[in-house]
Structure 1
């Protein structure tokens, strides 16, 4: 267990892979804490009801003080090490005749096969690790319970199985694995009754999962009469990768239609299925794959009908097979040991392809030139790094391969905005809405892009529709308020800011905009509060200090006004607004020469209020002095 955890420990240095990590973690209110954890147990999220996994991630984020990749990767490596340890115990309990060496080889085969790398190195796959952990605990208690407390042991096994289902519904295969492991004892009532209960629980979990993941979202659903071919072809693929784990990737591009056309995979799958009838280990491998072989459609089939992570619990079968072969004699020991070492070396190399989001995407494209998903992730990663021009190349490649994928259009629109190509951004945002349906972010961004082009009447309905879908979208409220201010609708702009939720209150732009609107409305005291809060949040730019100076000037707090205006001028010595306001402070406090000096500087930049003030003060007759003809 410790060896396995250490072996995968270098993933501690890896970044998030980007494949759903944003949605599952950073963008998941159940993990970030923006909603109560009880929500995870009440309703599904992202078409999955997996409250145990969400609770695990939430607890991990609290312990780490945030969603940090190092801690989450370390948790995955630890879970995988625990699973390897439980596999060792399960093999020993299932076959007491197995030596420690045999069970160790079996556990290591389960742990270090290259097919397992994706499940460990991809943070979001902690769901698979947790579900397998609880399934293995359930099997450990079920296979050989304490006969003195058999009922209690089987009850605990049932609780563990329930936790497995609530971690990820792919644990539905656990009853079948249990039946294979204790086939000779199924007639005994405690085992039979427990297995019946587990089967009912599995059926309920499968029905719930099918209900939450509607097949209409998957454009690659195949007819029922073709699914046996899909299952055999997928099984053939996994059999090949089990025996020859080379060229592994997160995107094989093998959609159901493509994989069914492969005669070699169909032949391999058929042979493997026949062999599984005679081998317990191969039979367990097939059973572990059942939820994702293609009998039931699932959303990822739109990208690939096969994926390494689907083999995670299935690798119990090859592990058991390796342990059984160890018993055949010393002549096989060297072969099995060498096999495990080769697998470990290949896994070490495979881990490098999961070091970062770009590394994952690069591997996708290298193994599948038509990987629109790889190009999308590559471009998205570059966009996050601020390299919009480089991102554009990969996002456009993704769209060429799959033009109807809405997220590629959305991210390309963001790249267009960054390069000030507003017409291009508008085109891609409209494409996003066309292919993906209404979503708040795209609607709000389209409103913002239209507003930047001065198309206020066109932008207004998009803002309102987007904010009706997501009333808590603080950025949308701010952009909408800015547009309303540009239209001279300050009162409506303030109403939008009043609707900003708690997350927006920590945005300095919210407070600076609020200050501007209140200042324009003549409510200087409230504007001061807004600007002071903006300063607390880090708004130390010249414009904020200049506007705050104006607010203090209007309340006749000349001392404070002079103090903040000096900070504005220190940051921008030629900012005309700050210079003009400073001149008003000097004039109000009787320092005419200083007022003339700063107004002269501002006038040199063509700032009309300063020019007017300069003319006025020069025409003012000093006390006790008369004009002479």
Structure 2
């Protein structure tokens, strides 16, 4: 009878855990829906969405050639084939309707939150073997709900261009779950789980370069949760993980640090020291944003910190020292959970901490993977409070989760379109040039040229070396046919700030009629149709027809619906005496634009001469 009662009690416990798990998963999905359903009506923004999605010819096809290009390592080109493949699938399903792209991001976020709950529910048994299943389940639930609702994760989800972070989280957590199950599996099942772990690691690395830390995170998790003895038994398995890690890391480092479009930059002061000091300031800001996310911004303004006496640097160092001391103290009492949480944060943050310099010092999206460690320890702390203080603690924690969800909902609305995004950014911090530049572009597109000019000038005031701001100011002066010399001066400053800025060279050619400027623009950007068209026009004016023709033909392959290109090719054919080819070009131009009088008069002239 005792055995029967024990069996029934175990079954009841298991059933209760399953019911609790289903309830939490429903809660996660519901939370994600409440916070992110609004993104279905969001637009693409002018911040990378055009480059990565709207104007990205590479996602327009799922052909073998397109797939080969996606998965080919090329110096100077960002290598994130899984992200690009996901966009290509989106385009095949709904072309450029922005709503579905945003909803796919939200779905990935929901899946990642569920996987985090599933993984932590098992992982915490190793860190907290003395806890009841209910305590472990509550800790995992709090952590997953924080991940699902926290405002700091909004950028990684509501921004269409941040797709890679959702993919990274999903594949990283799948790798963690497969690895966790492989430890106790045997035979063919174990081999399959190890292969699944390696595959998910590879997909995480191909989603985002940050994925290179996944093997280190999993090995570190084992060391903290089970100790060195188990790690020794898994040496062969770890060797496979690290071998994959080394291969992908070396290949990514090569393509990201070479070529004209390289992602890696130089340290702002030429050394690693300034970056490390600045990281203490960024670390403190990240802690503030995780605790009280009231100053979130899509573009933080950060100056390089040169002095250890800077208040934020000191606070960052003090915060780090306290956290390390707490983790060491707990580890001395055989509790490695705090050390694991802190280690997870630091290791996952390392690729974007500018140790290898990148374009951005601080961004909310950079916390998407690291913050899981913070949410895990918050979940464990919340579960301990509920166990000790009961319903009162549960109500308090519920209120905190609701507050974060409300903040997440409000923050999500900021990403509705470019205007709401940059208006919010400017309201949070007026020191950065980028919001002014972007708001100027929006005003220019709306025909408010005076307002646009004022925004561009304010951008230059804040960053005199902003090539884009100088370029935009030159363009707006050109559009208004004003201050020609000032326009040339600003385009020269744009080129001085960024000699590889192809559009600036092209616009300088427009302003000065300088052939070499167009040639340089085409050299820097061979697929710039506008530059090729302008270079062809320059050759045509000089009656260098043999040089003009290939420029027009290459431009036509890039923009096949431009009637003026057919017109110019018709002029060249007519000049060469090939009236049939000229007439054909004029007819194609008129098909695209029946009001093109130059093509109509030329075609009439040819037909009259033939009659």
Partners of 2:585 and 2:94 in 1: CA distance: 33
Alignment of 1:290 onto 2:345: no
Mark the CA change 1:492 to 1:326 in structure 2 (over 3 Å): closer, same or farther.
Answer: closer
Partners of 2:344 and 2:550 in 1: CA distance: 62
CA RMSD of aligned residues (A): 2.9
User: Which residue of 2 is the match for residue 611 of structure 1?
Assistant: none
Equivalences, count:
544
Structure 2: which 5+ runs fail to align?
Answer: 1-27, 126-131, 258-262, 331-337
Q: CA deviation at 1:250?
A: 1.4
Mark the CA change 1:286 to 1:511 in structure 2 (over 3 Å): closer, same or farther.
Answer: same
Q: CA deviation at 1:259?
A: 9.1
Alignment of 1:175 onto 2:215: yes
Partners of 1:276 and 1:393 in 2: CA distance: 52
Mark the CA change 1:434 to 1:38 in structure 2 (over 3 Å): closer, same or farther.
Answer: same
User: Which residue of 1 is the match for residue 286 of structure 2?
Assistant: 238
| Contact 1:361–1:374 under 8 Å retained in 2 | yes
Q: CA deviation at 1:387?
A: 3.6
Partners of 1:291 and 1:494 in 2: CA distance: 47
Q: CA deviation at 1:344?
A: 0.5
Range with greater deviation from structure 2 (176-185 or 127-136): 176-185
User: Which residue of 2 is the match for residue 94 of structure 1?
Assistant: 123
1:445-493 deviations in whole A, cap 9, x for unaligned? 2222223xxxxxxx12222333334444332232233334444555554
Structure 1: which 5+ runs fail to align?
Answer: 452-458, 557-629
Query: Which of 394, 399, 408 is equivalent to 1:333?
Result: 394
Q: CA deviation at 1:164?
A: 0.7
Mark the CA change 1:77 to 1:198 in structure 2 (over 3 Å): closer, same or farther.
Answer: same
1:297-329 deviations in whole A, cap 9, x for unaligned? 32224xxx2211111012212332243234322
Range with greater deviation from structure 2 (437-446 or 102-111): 437-446
Query: Which of 56, 59, 68 is equivalent to 1:38?
Result: 68
Query: Which of 225, 237, 243 is equivalent to 1:194?
Result: 237
Query: Which of 483, 490, 501 is equivalent to 1:428?
Result: 490
Query: Which of 346, 351, 367 is equivalent to 1:311?
Result: 367
Q: Where in structure 2 are the equivalents of 1:284-433 lying within 5 Å?
A: 284-294=344-354, 296-301=355-360, 305-328=361-384, 329=387, 330=390, 331-421=392-482, 422-433=484-495
User: Which residue of 1 is the match for residue 334 of structure 2?
Assistant: none
1:185-206 deviations in whole A, cap 9, x for unaligned? 5533563333343234334444
User: Which residue of 2 is the match for residue 54 of structure 1?
Assistant: 84
1:209-228 deviations in whole A, cap 9, x for unaligned? 44444498345156344555
* TM-score between the two structures when normalised by the length of structure 2: 0.81
Partners of 2:239 and 2:450 in 1: CA distance: 58
Partners of 2:211 and 2:497 in 1: CA distance: 34
1:371-390 deviations in whole A, cap 9, x for unaligned? 11222222233334444332
| Contact 1:213–1:299 under 8 Å retained in 2 | no
Partners of 1:221 and 1:325 in 2: CA distance: 41
Partners of 1:74 and 1:216 in 2: CA distance: 31
| SS at structure 2 position matched to 1:182 | helix
Q: Where in structure 2 are the equivalents of 1:11-90 lying within 5 Å?
A: 11-33=39-61, 36-44=66-74, 47-65=77-95, 67-90=96-119
Partners of 2:267 and 2:516 in 1: CA distance: 31
Q: CA deviation at 1:138?
A: 0.3
Mark the CA change 1:334 to 1:125 in structure 2 (over 3 Å): closer, same or farther.
Answer: same
Mark the CA change 1:186 to 1:197 in structure 2 (over 3 Å): closer, same or farther.
Answer: farther
1:558-593 deviations in whole A, cap 9, x for unaligned? xxxxxxxxxxxxxxxxxxxxxxxxxxxxxxxxxxxx
Mark the CA change 1:368 to 1:533 in structure 2 (over 3 Å): closer, same or farther.
Answer: same
Partners of 1:190 and 1:64 in 2: CA distance: 49
Mark the CA change 1:223 to 1:398 in structure 2 (over 3 Å): closer, same or farther.
Answer: same
| Contact 1:412–1:428 under 8 Å retained in 2 | yes
Q: CA deviation at 1:346?
A: 0.6
Partners of 1:514 and 1:25 in 2: CA distance: 32
Partners of 1:492 and 1:209 in 2: CA distance: 39
| Contact 1:119–1:129 under 8 Å retained in 2 | yes
Partners of 1:178 and 1:365 in 2: CA distance: 40
| Contact 1:185–1:191 under 8 Å retained in 2 | no
Mark the CA change 1:449 to 1:540 in structure 2 (over 3 Å): closer, same or farther.
Answer: same
Mark the CA change 1:203 to 1:386 in structure 2 (over 3 Å): closer, same or farther.
Answer: farther
Alignment of 1:9 onto 2:37: yes
Query: Which of 170, 176, 179 is equivalent to 1:133?
Result: 170
Q: CA deviation at 1:31?
A: 2.5
Please say which structure displays the higher CA radius of gyration.
1
Alignment of 1:251 onto 2:293: no
| SS at structure 2 position matched to 1:395 | helix
Q: CA deviation at 1:247?
A: 0.9
